Amino acid sequence: MWWKVILFVGLAAVIVFSFITPAPQQVIGEASRIFYYHIPMAWIAVLAFAMAMVYSVRYLRSKKFIEDIRARSAAALGLLFSILATISGSIFAKISWGSFWNWDPRETSIFILLLIYGAYFALRGAVAVEEKRASLSAVYAVFAFVTVPFLVFVVPRMAPSLHPNDSVIDADLQFTMGASVRIIFFSSLALFTVMYLWIFNLTCRVGALYRKIIEEEDI
Partner 1 sequence: MPNKSAGLTSRALSVYSKDMRVELRSKYAFNAILMFGITSLAVVSFTLGQTGLSPRLLAALFWIIMFFAAMAGLAQAFIREEEAGTVLALKLSADPTAVYLGKLFFNFSLMALISAVITPVFFIFTDAPVDNILLFVLVLILGVIGLCAATTIVAAIISKASVKGALFAVLSFPILFVLLLLLVNASAKVLEGATPGGIGTELQGLIAYSGVMITASLMLFKFVWQE
Partner 2 sequence: MTMYKLSAVNLGKRFGTRKVFNDISFELETGRTLAVVGPNGSGKTTLLLTLLGGYHPSRGEIVFYENDQKLTPDTVRDKTALVAPYLNLYDSLTAEENLVFFTAVSGGSVTGKELNSLFERVGLAGRADDPVGSYSSGMKQRLKYAAAILKKPEFLFLDEPTSNLDDDGKKIVFDIIEEFKQKSIVVIATNEAEERNFAEQICRVDQ
Decide whether 17 or 121 has the Cβ nearer to partner 1.
121
* Identified binder of partner 1 from the candidate list 16, 87, 122, 202, rule CB under 8 A: 122
Alpha carbon distance 102, 123 (integer Å):
29
Which of 22, 29, 118, 178 is the binder for partner 1 (CB under 8 A)? 118
Tell me which residues in 59-88 interact with partner 2 (CB under 8 A): 63
Question: In the complex with partner 2, which residue's Cβ is closer, 162 or 213?
Answer: 213
Cβ 172 vs Cβ 126: under 8 Å: no
Given the rule CB under 8 A, which of 34-42, 123-131, 142-150, 171-179 is the region that contacts partner 2?
123-131
What letter represents residue 80's amino acid?
A: L
3-class SS at 154?
coil
Nearer to partner 1, 13 or 136 (CB): 136
CB 63 within 8 A of CB 9: no
Taking the complex as a whole, the smallest distance from the CB of residue 117 to partner 2 amounts, in Å, to 25
Binding map of partner 2 across residues 153-192, x = CB under 8 A, - = no contact: ----------------------------------------
Among the listed residues 111, 120, 164, the one whose alpha carbon sits nearest the alpha carbon of residue 139: 120
> Applying CB under 8 A, which of residues 132, 182, 205, 212 lies at the interface with partner 1?
132
**H or E element in which residue 150 lies:** helix 148-153
Return the sign of the alpha-carbon dihedral for residues 96, 101, 107, 113.
Answer: positive
